[in-house]
Amino acid sequence: GAVVSQHPSRVICKSGTSVKIECRSLDFQATTMFWYRQFPKQSLMLMATSNEGSKATYEQGVEKDKFLINHASLTLSTLTVTSAHPEDSSFYICSAPGPAAAGELFFGEGSRLTVL
Amino acid sequence: AQKITQTQPGMFVQEKEAVTLDCTYDTSDPSYGLFWYKQPSSGEMIFLIYQGSYDQQNATEGRYSLNFQKARKSANLVISASQLGDSAMYFCAMREGLSGSGNTGKLIFGQGTTLQVKP
């Protein structure tokens, strides 16, 4: 099956710093990728849709300037949490649609961000 | 309005028994897909099973089957012969607009159900 790799898996940073999370499709091209956020024991909440070659589409209530998304190539999307604060601590997980038209989403391993 | 509803925050099942995890959905789109994912404590999302809105038969994948009742807008997951490794959080998800330009691909998730399998 298709593989999506996410890095780093864990990151701890000081308040005020920026953190970049990478999401790569390893064996297929992904013109679209999705970024989700998950708090403990809760559901995955869609943050934004990353589009190769164009601006990301953000869900209502998600700060564009806070969560910068760049889809640099057909296999790489990045999420940068700018000026991170403790309330940004969460599990961030990316996904990409598989090759089939109505197929599943393939997920990265997720990144656990802790802001001190 | 909630598009995907999982009403069971937590469930227990005895090992080797079957368990049903409930999922109801709300959509006016005639073309949609329903998914179930398993999320163990490690956080990875594991795809289990898929049901298309036009599929005539209920989907099955090994010990997993999907009880699809279109008129009632429900897509319950049935796990047969539960194993200790089935203990995890389970998410139902829906993807709308599979036909034409509305195929954005994004999945909307339910609240999740935590399943614990007892030895």
* pLDDT above 90 as % of chain A: 77
Q: Which of B48, B64, B107 to mutate: most A Cβ within 10 Å? A: B107
What's the rounded Cα separation, in Å, for the pair A45 and A43? 6
Query: What integer is the mean pLDDT of A90-113?
Result: 85
B12 CB near a chain A CB, below 8 Å? no
Residue of A nearest to B44 (CA): A109
Distance to chain A for B91, nearest Cα, Å:
8
Residues 77-116 of B with CB under 8 A from A: 89, 91, 95, 98, 103-112, 114
Residue % of chain A over a pLDDT of 70: 95
Q: How far is A68 from chain B (nearest CA, A)?
A: 19
CA distances in angstroms from A19 to A37, A56, A110, B41, B76, listed in the order given: 15, 18, 14, 24, 39
Identify any residues that bridge with A70 across adjacent strands, giving them in sequence order: A78
Q: What is the pLDDT of residues B13-42, one digit of tens each?
A: 999 999 999 999 999 888 899 999 999 999
Q: Which residues of A touch B37 (CB under 8 A)?
A: 107
pLDDT on residue A72: 86
pLDDT of residue A105: 83
Say what the pLDDT of residue A103 is.
63
- Per-residue pLDDT band at A100 (split at 50, 70, 90): low
Q: Is the pLDDT of residue A86 over 60?
A: yes
Has residue B99 got a pLDDT over 70? no
Mean pLDDT of chain B, nearest integer: 91
Contact B111, B89 (CB under 8 A): no
Residue A19 has pLDDT above 70, yes or no: yes
Q: What was the pLDDT predicted at A1?
A: 66
CA B91/CA B79 separation, integer angstroms = 13
Tokens read off for A48: 């934004």
**What percentage of chain B reaches a pLDDT higher than 90?**
80
A62 near B CB under 8 A = no
Strand ranges for chain B from DSSP E: 4-5, 10-14, 19-21, 24-25, 32-39, 46-52, 60-61, 64-69, 74-79, 88-96, 108-109, 113-118
Model confidence at A27, pLDDT cuts 50, 70, 90, reads confident
